[in-house]
Amino acid sequence: MRTNEEILSSLPSDSALAGRTALVTGSTGGIGEAVARVLAASGAEVLVSGRDAGRARGVVDAITASGGRAHALTADLGAAPGEIRAFAERAQEALGGRVDLLVNNAGVYPGLLTPSVTDEEMEALWATNVRAPHVLVALLAPRMAERGAGVVVNVGSWMARVGVPYKALYPATKAAVEQLTRAWAAEFGPRGVRVNGVAPGATATRGTAGNADQLAAMTKATPAGVPVRPVDIAYAVRYLVSDEAAFVQGATLDVDGGLAATRLR
């Protein structure tokens, strides 16, 4: 099986998303980077965002080296709502005055057992995983609706619908994201803005590299048999933002190798 980087380094170009602009939060690595690069390969002009300016610049350079269009902005999605709104305005300006596609990918996953979760971790989970997408959608989705078109994709998690004994609060934030996805589809869909989500499974990223053995054990008994690659999630996002998904509304697409739906033993 080809690696994530091998695929991203040789993405074929097409014009399926030509003329559209995309804001991808948390796109300086992992799932977000893959989404940004895949959308750019299909013709979208992409805003790459994250807390590390150097990493953001690196993703932009990779996109432009392949003939795509991209811009970089630093952003802390755990910041106060006013700062997130200011970031969204800067992103819209960098993209020529509008955001057609919003991918709410940025997220944090600190904390393990419930008694050990600190107040700071609890606040970070709420602020980044739930409040930030809400602030961005509240600002940008009405503008999409005014134009009569737009797409929002929220990145959730397979853990949102499965109780596990080692982490409770993070899955709860992702369950909230799934409900927001359904509610926003009902709220904005009649005005031309589609809202959907993807639920990644155990994914091999820089952030999960320290748990490689655990990921391998979790996925060994799935139909796929191996951890999800970020690019696999990016392909699902590309489908959801494309015209091919015109009748997909309020759905959350599992991209988890069968982790949540199947048991082989």
Spans of all domains in the chain? 12-255
Q: Where does the pLDDT of residue 42 fall: very low under 50, low under 70, confident under 90, or very high at 90 and above? A: very high
**Residue 65 and residue 41 in contact, taking contact as beta carbons nearer than 8 Å:** no
Q: What pLDDT sits at residue 181?
A: 98
Does the pLDDT of residue 211 top 90, yes or no?
A: no
pTM of the prediction? 0.96
Q: What pLDDT sits at residue 209?
A: 65
Active-site option among 166, 170, 235, 239: 170
For residue 239, indicate whether it is catalytic.
Answer: no
Average pLDDT along the chain: 95
Q: What pLDDT sits at residue 106?
A: 97
**Angle ∠(163,169,173) on CA atoms, nearest 5:** 95
Distance CA(136)–CA(133), nearest Å, equals: 5
Distance CA(33)–CA(25), nearest Å, equals: 9
Does the pLDDT of residue 102 top 80, yes or no?
A: yes
Pull the structure tokens for residue 200: 């990644």
Does the pLDDT of residue 237 top 70, yes or no?
A: yes
Distance CA(178)–CA(7), nearest Å, equals: 29
pLDDT per residue as tens digits for the range 146-200 = 999 999 999 999 999 999 999 999 999 999 999 999 999 999 999 999 999 999 9
Pull the structure tokens for residue 3: 């690696």
**Residue 189 and residue 144 in contact, taking contact as beta carbons nearer than 8 Å:** no
Q: Using the 8-state DSSP alphabet, how is residue 69 labeled?
A: E
Q: Which residues contact 13 (CB under 8 A, 6 or more apart)?
A: 41, 42, 43, 66, 67, 68
Say which range, 10-19, 117-126, 138-147, 219-228, has the weakest mean pLDDT.
219-228
pLDDT per residue as tens digits for the range 49-59 = 999 999 999 99
Q: Using the 8-state DSSP alphabet, how is residue 128 labeled?
A: I
Distance from the Cα of residue 148 to its chain's centroid: 23
Alpha carbon distances (Å) from 44 to 78, 121, 204: 26, 35, 25
pLDDT per residue as tens digits for the range 15-36 = 999 999 999 999 999 999 999 9
Q: What pLDDT sits at residue 121?
A: 97
Alpha carbon distances (Å) from 186 to 88, 147, 182, 193, 220: 23, 18, 6, 10, 38
Give the mean pLDDT of 230-234: 97
Q: Count CA atoms within 13 Å of residue 89 on its CB side.
A: 6
- Looking at domain 12-255, what is its CATH homologous superfamily? NAD(P)-binding Rossmann-like Domain (3.40.50.720)
